[in-house]
Amino acid sequence: MFDTLLSHPESHTRRHQNWTQTYKIRADRLIADELMLPAGLTVIDAVKAAGLWDVTDDVDLILIPNDLKTALQSLPFAFDNFSGFSPSSRRNTLRWIKTAKHL
């Protein structure tokens, strides 16, 4: 499944994307089970070489960057609203902000 995706001709797009914790867990499992295809290993090596392997670790842990935390805390209703989001919604919001900052 995931290894098939990575062997697909369009898998080059995964080389230029941040890898979330769920992608890394799947990749580790496929490698441990000896199911990862060489194309998948090549993509992982390229992602690591590009510095994209660990770029969203803070997002996966839902760590709010200081500048965002300061901005949210300046408006208590905003901080309360953000804090009330589900973990996946907070992660998606943080990932979106981080990606926007680094474009």
19-64 pLDDT, tens digit per residue, is 889 989 999 999 999 999 999 999 999 989 988 899 899 999 999 9
**In angstroms, rounded to a whole number, what is the distance separating the alpha carbons of residues 18 and 96?**
11
Asked if the model's pLDDT at residue 73 lies above 60, the reply is yes
Q: Name the percent of the chain lying above pLDDT 90.
A: 66
> Model-level pTM greater than 0.75?
no
- What angle (nearest 5°) sits at the alpha carbon of residue 57, between those of residues 87 and 45? 135
Q: Which residues of 10-31 are buried (b: 16+ CB within 10 A; e: fewer)?
A: ebeebbeebbbeebbebbeebe
Asked if the model's pLDDT at residue 103 lies above 80, the reply is no
Question: Across the chain, what does the average pLDDT equal?
Answer: 86
Asked if the model's pLDDT at residue 2 lies above 80, the reply is no
Angle, helices 66-73 vs 76-84, to 10°: value is 120
